[in-house]
Amino acid sequence: MTWDKLFAKRTAQMKRSTVREILKLTSQPDVISFAGGLPAPELFPVERIQQAAELALTERGREALQYSTSEGMPELRGWIADRLSTETLKVEPQNILIVSGSQQAQDLVGKILFDEGDAVIVENPTYVGMLTAWRPYLLDFAAVPTDHDGMQTDALEALLEKRAFKAAYSIPNFQNPQGVTLSYERRIKLAALLARYDLPLYEDDPYGALRYSGAALPSVQQVEAVVRKTSALDDCTTMYAGTFSKTLTPGLRVGWIAAAFPVIDKLVQAKQAADLHTSTLNQFIVYEAVRDGDFLDEHIARLREVYRQRRDLMLRTMEECFPAEVTWTRPDGGLFLLVTMPEGMDATEILKLALEQKVAFVPAESFHIGEMGRNTFRLNFSNARPEMIEAGIRRLGALLKEAVRVAL
């Protein structure tokens, strides 16, 4: 049987995750990995999760082990809606769909929104997982450049003036892979463009709670409500996706998307075809763990402190050890920073040398639209302990100095 002849044509657009493939190479315990976007496992609230699981099974065990509604656990949806609501934007439980990790939200949005050939605006570089989810729809991706203030909204406006687009995608907070944040001024400009063109925006915010410096900024969804002079999410075109993976634990695979009810209603239909509903037990565990808001806020505060220290250590060591010809971003939060080597250098080749030194990272070419980014790579600072960060960056710095010397 030759299966390749039987696979649907759209599967030709499906690629294995670059990050996941590299993670296979870093499974050896002596490899210092800056590759995956992994939270620190030693910070997982294991005891809290255990208590939440016991409580869910003891008090509502039969319900927690049963099939559930596709929309998600009502109490958890209500908790998220309250958490997202502000003085200027009222989020109702009917505006929330619980998903199996926010990655599923991208898959479901692709199913309900895109036809083959649709034009979609994305940041460049952008999250490779979104590209993986949406490429099978044979979309026409239009890349908007980014800088230290995030997506360049003037360039976005110029694109919108020339042609029609089905939707846009953005990670406003501590973007993956760069770690940059969309400035408040650009959020206003972006929201105004959404309102002017009635353009749907997928606002991906897995890292927003992990801010280590600077003031927190409102979501684009919140800003859009102000621009449109409404307090109802049903009047907005932004679809806001969040997750418990970075603040609680990724193993439970629980996230959400907040959007206008017609969008949620159609997403529910897509989810019913995909997996019926997110794990009932896992939803109960998450709800029991976070229903006391003080715990989650205190836990996030601890994550911020530890990750801030690791970010600062990585940046200091890079300043000491990296060659002057190499530059990098300086994120205010999140899990990543992006390194740029001189033009002509190849991060994939550097990775091969780094693995010989037992250090791993992710080449960032796959995060780019078009033939760009070969000389860039992403570093994660959340998962490695301090002594490993310092040792790994020093090894990488020595390697880069030699590679730059040879290249130039």
Question: Are 26 and 147 members of one domain?
Answer: no
Decide if pLDDT at 20 tops 80: no
Q: CA angle at residue 390 from 301 to 383, to 5 degrees? A: 45
Give 378's pLDDT tier (boundaries 50, 70, 90): very high
pLDDT of residue 181: 99
Q: In the listed set 292, 324, 354, which residue is the last one of a domain according to the structure? A: 292
Q: What is the CATH number of the domain that holds 177?
A: 3.40.640.10
pLDDT of residue 4: 81
In a domain, residue 320? The reply is yes
Decide if pLDDT at 21 tops 70: no
Decide if pLDDT at 19 tops 90: no
In a domain, residue 314? The reply is yes
Q: In the listed set 292, 322, 356, which residue is the last one of a domain according to the structure? A: 292
Question: Are 77 and 180 members of one domain?
Answer: yes
To which residue do tokens 């619980």 refer? 98
Asked if 345 and 405 touch (Cβ cutoff 8 Å), the reply is no
In a domain, residue 267? The reply is yes
Decide if pLDDT at 270 tops 80: yes
Query: To 10 degrees, what angle do helices 280-290 and 46-64 make?
Result: 130
**Number of domains making up the chain:** 2
Decide if pLDDT at 24 tops 90: no
pLDDT of residue 408: 80
Question: Are 204 and 72 members of one domain?
Answer: yes
Share of the chain above pLDDT 70, in %: 97
Cα–Cα dist 14/17, whole Å: 9
pLDDT of residue 313: 99
Question: Are 93 and 25 members of one domain?
Answer: no
Q: Which residues pair with 202 in a beta bridge?
A: 169, 239
In a domain, residue 52? The reply is no
Per-residue pLDDT tens over the stretch 57-113: 999 999 999 999 999 999 999 999 999 999 999 999 999 999 999 999 999 999 999
Decide if pLDDT at 145 tops 80: yes
Decide if pLDDT at 22 tops 80: no
Question: Are 249 and 328 members of one domain?
Answer: no
Asked if 352 and 361 touch (Cβ cutoff 8 Å), the reply is no
Q: What is the CATH number of the domain that holds 14?
A: 3.90.1150.10
What range does the domain containing 399 cover? 3-45+296-407
Higher pLDDT, 370 or 397: 397
Question: Are 29 and 115 members of one domain?
Answer: no
In a domain, residue 60? The reply is no
143, 91, 38: which is closest to 385 by C-alpha?
38
Cα–Cα dist 119/345, whole Å: 32
3-state secondary structure the chain: CCHHHCCCHHHHHCCCCHHHHHHHHCCCCCCEECCCCCCCHHHCCHHHHHHHHHHHHHHHHHHHCCCCCCCCCHHHHHHHHHHHCCCCCECCHHHEEEECCHHHHHHHHHHHHCCCCCEEEEEECCCHHHHHHHHHHCCEEEEEEEECCEECHHHHHHHHHHCCCCEEEECCCCCCCCCCCCCHHHHHHHHHHHHHHCCCEEEECCCCCCECCCCCCCCHHHHHHHHCCCCEHHHCCEEEEEECCCCCCHHHCCEEEECCHHHHHHHHHHHHHHCCCCCHHHHHHHHHHHCCHHHHHHHHHHHHHHHHHHHHHHHHHHHHHCCCCCEECCCCECCEEEEECCCCCCHHHHHHHHHHCCEECEECHHHCCCCCCCCEEEEECCCCCHHHHHHHHHHHHHHHHHHHHHHC
Cα–Cα dist 322/255, whole Å: 37
Give the residue-averaged pLDDT of 2-24.
75
How many C-beta atoms surround the C-beta of residue 87 within 10 A?
A: 7
Cα–Cα dist 222/240, whole Å: 10
Q: How far from 398 is each of 181, 350, 353, 354, 402, CA to CA, in Å?
A: 30, 12, 11, 10, 7
Question: Are 159 and 203 members of one domain?
Answer: yes
Q: In the listed set 246, 265, 292, which residue is the last one of a domain according to the structure? A: 292
pLDDT of residue 2: 80
Decide if pLDDT at 18 tops 70: no
Kindly report whether the global pTM for this prediction surpasses the value 0.75.
yes
Question: Are 311 and 169 members of one domain?
Answer: no
Average pLDDT, the chain: 96
Radius of gyration over every alpha carbon of the chain, rounded to an integer in angstroms: 21
Question: Are 287 and 387 members of one domain?
Answer: no
Residues 6+ apart with CB under 8 A from 9: none
Give 23's pLDDT tier (boundaries 50, 70, 90): low
Per-residue pLDDT tens over the stretch 296-335: 999 999 999 999 999 999 999 999 999 999 999 999 999 9
233, 221, 177, 166: which is closest to 363 by C-alpha?
177
Per-residue pLDDT tens over the stretch 176-213: 999 999 999 999 999 999 999 999 999 999 999 999 99
Question: Are 137 and 197 members of one domain?
Answer: yes
Q: How far apart are the first and last CA of the chain?
A: 51
pLDDT of residue 353: 96
Decide if pLDDT at 49 tops 70: yes
